[in-house]
């Protein structure tokens, strides 16, 4: 018997009219049945969120009370972190050593946003009219459509759900059709936390009709999307139907620059973390390594040796360092791009094939390709796979030029012990997030996001809560005099 998951709509766990099988990436076999939301399911969820937005059981809560509910949700998440981590590993193939740590840490995001719920402030405006008192108040923007991918889905949902609820909005979350189990199970914690029915709704389904209907729904006022640029373009087109506010957290071909004065042991570990942790399935994956000529061969040799020791295996085994890719589709694309890159002149230095003994499932060896230029397919396309493209550069100016030669601008890594150089590159490299002598570090306090093909807006941090509000200007006439000439604007 396969496990069956249900949608969470208006405070109830309900079936969809149809279901689909979810695949275990470690085996390639179906292991569970997921609800396939159609347009009617989306309508029910959005209608419930719209009703809850105006219901006093939610809108009548003080900001402090909303914050307490978010704190409670964080506590429940921490208590159930291991069970959710195991579920995420089963459904997405991410190794348990990462999902366990990440899910437990996500509780801090809900606590952080819970603490911000009563810190949303307006302003008194000193206008040029002596008898007028004017102030701005911040109000919830409305119903939020939160669309998240399968990778790090509980984290990517937290940076949408957390600020939205802190601001007083209501939410419909669409989990990816690839590996939605953790988010559907997370609905149990939302229910236990005590949020009023309809405040949080969690569904899953395919882009058409589920995603299309949700992002174009007339009752949706805000879309928070994480995914790829091509799907984002559809989301933006859909938003023309409801004129909703849109933020997009998209992908990247993030450069990692290593200079000849860097600590190579530190750089090597950070590079491994940036591209081979999570099997390269991260929007901030450091997939383009740019190495100064004088240390190129040494660093590539160090990486090749380290890559050969990465333990590939069952993602549920705590000793495993790299599991499978999440889908057969991803695996096929990665293999095709590796092959086309070699034909285009790249040199395969490590990996590039299915690891021995792992023919079942969607496994791929950690792969290093040395590229003669930045026009090789593996240097241009976001693969969401453990594939590292390596290029040489001579001068600082050359490194910056290579780093910025991309349509993406999400993250970047800089490795140097020269503080002056680090500051020059921080200013010069196009990226929304820059790590210096480290990589892949996160915190609820720090906003993240990119520009160009990497998206619009930011998630996380104090500012993100304001993105879920809209300002209202209030004018109060304090004069005792009669209203002046009604035919002249004051």
- Residues involved in catalysis: 249, 283
Contact 179, 150 (CB under 8 A): yes
Report how far Cα 381 is from the mean position of its chain's Cα atoms. 19
**Would you say the C-alpha torsion 335, 150, 255, 349 has a positive or negative sign?**
negative
Q: How many C-beta atoms surround the C-beta of residue 459 within 10 A?
A: 22
Read out DSSP for 180-239? -HHHHHHHHHHHHHTPPTTSEEEEE--IIIIIHHHHH-TTEEEEEEES-HHHHHHHHHHH
CB 374 within 8 A of CB 365: no
- Site of tokens 């590079």: 271
d(CA 439, CA 284): 9
User: Sign of torsion, CA 175 86 194 32?
Assistant: positive
Residue found under tokens 């860097």: 262
Distance between CA atoms of residues 451 and 410, nearest Å:
7
Pairing of strands 347-350, 255-258: unpaired
Q: In 3-state terms, what secondary structure has residue 152?
A: coil
Report the distance separating Cα 313 and Cα 147, nearest Å. 30
Helices (H), 371-452: 377-380, 396-404, 419-428
Angle at 128 between CA 125 and CA 133, to 5 degrees: 45
DSSP bridge pairs for 171: 144, 200
Cβ–Cβ < 8 Å for 413, 376? no
Residue 324 CB partners (closer than 8 Å, separation 6+): 25, 26, 93, 279, 315, 331, 358, 361, 362, 363, 364
On whether the CB atoms of residues 310 and 322 are closer than 8 A, the answer is yes
């Amino acid at each position: 018997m396969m496990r069956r998951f249900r949608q969470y709509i208006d405070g109830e766990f309900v079936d969809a009219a149809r279901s689909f099988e979810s695949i275990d990436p470690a085996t390639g076999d179906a292991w569970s049945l997921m609800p396939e939301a159609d347009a009617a399911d989306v309508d029910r969820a959005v209608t419930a969120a719209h009703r809850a937005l105006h219901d006093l059981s939610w809108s009548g809560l003080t900001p402090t009370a909303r914050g307490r509910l978010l704190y409670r949700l964080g506590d429940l998440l921490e208590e159930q972190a291991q069970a959710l981590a195991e579920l995420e590993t089963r459904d997405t193939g991410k190794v348990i050593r990462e999902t366990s740590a990440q899910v437990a840490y996500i509780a801090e995001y809900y606590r952080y946003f819970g603490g911000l719920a009563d810190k949303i402030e307006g302003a008194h405006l000193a206008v040029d009219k002596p008898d007028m008192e004017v102030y701005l108040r911040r109000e919830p923007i409305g119903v939020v459509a939160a669309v998240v991918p399968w990778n790090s889905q509980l984290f990517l949902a937290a940076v949408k759900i957390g600020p939205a609820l802190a601001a007083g909005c209501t939410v419909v979350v669409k989990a990816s059709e690839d590996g939605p189990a953790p988010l559907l199970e997370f609905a149990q914690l939302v229910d236990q936390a005590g949020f009023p029915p309809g405040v949080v709704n969690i569904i899953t389904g395919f882009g058409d009709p589920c995603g299309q209907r949700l992002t174009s729904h007339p009752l949706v006022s805000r879309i928070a999307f994480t995914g790829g640029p091509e799907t984002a373009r559809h989301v933006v087109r859909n938003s023309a139907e409801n004129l909703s506010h849109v933020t997009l957290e998209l992908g990247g071909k993030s450069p990692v620059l290593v200079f000849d004065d860097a600590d190579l042991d530190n750089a090597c570990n950070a590079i491994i973390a940036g591209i081979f942790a999570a099997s390269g399935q991260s929007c901030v994956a450091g997939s383009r390594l740019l190495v100064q000529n004088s240390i190129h061969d040494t660093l590539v040799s160090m990486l090749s040796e380290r890559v050969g020791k990465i333990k590939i295996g069952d993602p549920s085994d705590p000793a495993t360092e790299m599991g499978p890719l999440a889908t057969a589709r991803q695996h096929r694309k990665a293999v095709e791009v590796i092959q086309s890159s070699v034909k285009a002149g790249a040199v395969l230095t490590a990996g590039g094939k299915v690891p021995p003994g792992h023919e079942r499932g969607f496994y791929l060896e950690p792969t290093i390709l040395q590229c003669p230029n930045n026009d090789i397919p593996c240097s241009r396309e976001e693969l969401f796979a453990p594939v590292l493209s390596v290029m040489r550069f001579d001068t600082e100016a050359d490194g910056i030029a290579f780093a910025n030669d991309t349509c993406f601008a999400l993250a970047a890594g800089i490795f140097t012990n020269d503080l002056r150089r680090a500051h020059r590159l921080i200013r010069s490299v196009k990226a929304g997030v820059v790590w210096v002598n480290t990589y892949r570090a996160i915190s609820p306090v720090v906003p993240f996001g990119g520009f160009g093909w990497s998206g619009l807006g930011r998630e996380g941090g104090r500012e993100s809560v304001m993105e879920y509000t809209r300002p209202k200007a209030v004018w109060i006439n304090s004069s005792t005099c009669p209203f002046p000439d009604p035919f002249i604007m004051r």
